[in-house]
Each structure stands twice: as structure tokens, then as C-alpha cells.
Amino acid sequence: MNLYSVLPKAALGLALAGTLALTGCKKDDTEVCGGTPALTSVTSTTDRTQVSTSGNLADWIIVKGTNLCNVSQLSFNDVDVSLADAYITATEITVQIPRVVPKKVTNTITVTTAGGTAQTAYTLSVPAMSVTSMANEYAAPGQKAAIVGSNFDLYEVTPTKGKVLWNGTALAVTKTTADSVYFVVPANATPGATLKVVDANGKETAVPGRYKDNRNILFGYDTNGSVWGGNTFITTGPMPAPVNGPYVRVSQSIGAWTWTEFSTNNNIALPADVIANPGNYVMRFEVNTLKAFNTNAIRFSIDGDVAANNTYTWTPTSPFNTRGQWSTMTVPLSGFINKKADLDKPLHECKFVFLGDGALDADISFDNFRIVPKG
């Protein structure tokens, strides 16, 4: 009886993982086969009846056929599989597709045995590398920093094969994960620097944003913002340590639907193009939480207190927590500028308030609210 045919689908992945962990490459020696191998179909491990002609890197699949004993090589495009990680019988090969980008794409699976070679058509979807931002655009010179995105490991942005370009000068990569590339901010770093990520093939990908971008500052807290009702939230630390001089820290209990305004300024000038083409801009700011932001909401507004007009409400869908580290956040300006006629004036009022459902035990800090080109 076939092991997988008697298992419910939900348990199949666990059973398969356990089988592979215990056996490594297992060849069923009770089955006798010989002659030229043939491949007949490919299915997933969770639905053995549904034939598939395409898949993704890291998928588990079953390659079906005949005479599959004594496999010496199994490849997806030009990427070989470690046979120690495959479960092989005379009629099936259960294997995980390697998470490796092929250099030569043939859209085939190739199996080689003592009896010959067989192929079947199979197309892999290979995700592109994406670069989202610098994790903290205000990281200090000499400080460890990170560029965040996806699939950095696939494209080998590693300490030996990748690099970061800082205004065109190469910096060493100190560590890489699938979603982060780490490096050290150069000692001579100055505001406005641009960054690029270079993969193992030499391809350069720009990092959106600039280092310590100080264009169109709404609130920097060195000279403006954050007094309402006689209260000020401006501080210089020491907890958390400042990211760029004075900053706003809200450390108090905030009741549900209690208007708590922590930053306001009614004399802010914005470039005309920001109002005319908000889709070309984003609002960025640095945030630091010492306690999770897990309920309530923060409303950002430009010339408007009505929720529907020129406002953006940041409501946590899950606990947001930087755990004492400064992190750069990005909000598309098109997400809350929607009534341009209300913004037809030389100076604008910007307000940031806590206002939402659920009592919040807040300890959250902000700095460097700015509107900048999104590229």
C-alpha cells in the first residue's frame, strides 16, 4: 500500500517531512525495474491526482514515471537536486524543487538513471529580487544598517558575491538573509546619499529613498511642532536614544476614541507639485516603539480633521513593535491627499493624532516627518 494514499491531505506534509528526515534518499529495493526511464506526469504532494506543468521554487512535487530506479541525477532546468533529499521508487520521485535561480532555462525536468535519460516539460516561476527601502534611513555613520526587500539570497547578494553602492562607492555586505542585506554606514556619510544593491551577476538595483533625506520636512522637532493643549511631547531621550536630535515620544495610556494630538503645525509650505501630483510622493518618518502599537489608531491629516478628507489612518492589523530600534516607515501620499481643492493655499496645517478604538498603553516615538519623491 502506498504511504501517501492513506494519509489525509493536511497530514501529508508532516508525514513527508518525517519520512525524509528519517530516511534521506530512500530507494525502494523491493521494486524491480530496468530499461530506459520515462516520465509521465508531475503532481503536488498534497493532490496526487492533479497533473501540473508548472511550479515554484521550494515546492514539494512528485515526478511520476517508469524505470526510475538507480537515479544518478535529477535536474530542474540546469539546477541539480541533492538526491539525499529525494524519496525514490520505481515509479515516483518525491522531491523539493531547489530554491536556486537557473542560469540556463530549459523548462524541463531531467532524470538520469543507469538505463538512460528522460525529460518532461515543466516551467518554474522564478521571483525577481525586489528592494523596498533602507530599514532606518537615519542610521548613524559607523552604525550597522540594513536594506530590506525580498529574494536577496536567491540572487546571491552575499558577503562574497554582492555589495552595496553608496553614492557609487562599494561597501561590503556583512550579512544576508532572504529579506535583508546588512552593511555599515560609512564614516563620511552625508545627507542625501543614494544607495544601490548589486547582486552576484553585477546587476544594480536602486534603493528607494535617500540617506537622511531632509527635503520637505513637516516635523523635525528641532525647531517646530508638537504642542497642543499646553502639553508637549518633545524630548531628547535618553530612552530611546535620539535618531536625529529632539523627537516626539508619546508614553501614556490613550483611551478608546480619545483625541490625543501629539504633533501640529499650521505654517507648513509644500511644493506645488506635491499637491498637484501626490501619486509621485510619499510621506516618510522614523518610528520607535518601546511597547507594541497594537490597538487604537494614528490619524495623519493635511488641512483637514474630517476622516475622509486629506487624511490617512494608520491602524495596526497586528502588533507593530520595533523593540526599541528606529525604523523608517513609508506612506504613499496618494493614500490621503484626495481633495486637492482644500489644499489651494500657500501654507498648510498638519496634524498627527491618536484617535481610534481600543485603549492603548502607548510608548511610541517619532521623528523626521517628511514628504519626498517616492523613487
CA distance 152 to 19: 31
- The mean pLDDT value of the chain amounts to 88
**What pLDDT score does 223 carry?**
65
Rounded percentage of the chain residues whose pLDDT exceeds 70: 88
**What pLDDT score does 12 carry?**
40
Average pLDDT over residues 17-28: 42
**What pLDDT score does 17 carry?**
42
328 close to 244: Cβ distance less than 8 angstroms:
no
328 close to 285: Cβ distance less than 8 angstroms:
yes
Please write the tens of the pLDDT for every residue from 199-212: 999 999 999 999 99
List phi, psi (to 5°) of 72: -105, -20
CA distance between the termini of the chain: 58
pLDDT for 29 beyond 50: no
Task: Give CATH superfamily name and number for 217-373.
Answer: Galactose-binding domain-like (2.60.120.260)
- Lowest pLDDT segment from 6-20, 159-173, 242-256: 6-20
290, 141, 283: which is closest to 213 by C-alpha?
283
Average pLDDT over residues 50-79: 96
Q: Where in the chain is the domain with CATH 2.60.40.10?
A: 4-125, 130-206
284, 190, 288, 283: which is closest to 235 by C-alpha?
288
Q: Where in the chain is the domain with CATH 2.60.120.260?
A: 217-373
> Facing residues of 354 across strands?
260, 298
User: Which contiguous run of DSSP H or E holds residue 235?
Assistant: strand 234-235
DSSP labels, 37-75: -EEEEEEESS-TTSB-SEEETT-EEEEEEE---SEEEEE
Please write the tens of the pLDDT for every residue from 151-208: 999 999 999 999 999 999 999 999 999 999 999 999 999 999 999 999 999 999 999 9
Rounded percentage of the chain residues whose pLDDT exceeds 90: 72
3-state secondary structure of 231: strand
- Confidence tier at 224 by pLDDT (50, 70, 90): low
CA distance 262 to 226: 5
257 close to 334: Cβ distance less than 8 angstroms:
no
**What pLDDT score does 32 carry?**
65
pLDDT for 19 beyond 60: no
Burial class (CB in 10 A: 0-12, 13-18, 19+), 66: middle
192, 213, 219: which is closest to 365 by C-alpha?
219
Hey, how many other C-beta atoms are within 10 angstroms of the C-beta on 168? 10
Average pLDDT over residues 138-158: 96
User: Which contiguous run of DSSP H or E holds residue 14?
Assistant: helix 9-23
3-state secondary structure of 276: helix
What is the pairing mode between strands 60-66 and 38-44?
antiparallel
Give the C-alpha distances (Å, rounded to integers) separating 48 from 5, 7, 42, 261, 275. Answer: 9, 12, 9, 58, 56
- How many residues belong to the chain? 375
List phi, psi (to 5°) of 284: -120, 150
Average pLDDT over residues 350-371: 94
List phi, psi (to 5°) of 367: -160, 160
The hierarchical CATH code for the domain 4-125 is 2.60.40.10
- The reply to whether the predicted model has a pTM over 0.85 is no
Hey, how many other C-beta atoms are within 10 angstroms of the C-beta on 169? 11
Whether domain 130-206 has CATH 2.60.40.10: the reply is: yes
251 close to 329: Cβ distance less than 8 angstroms:
no
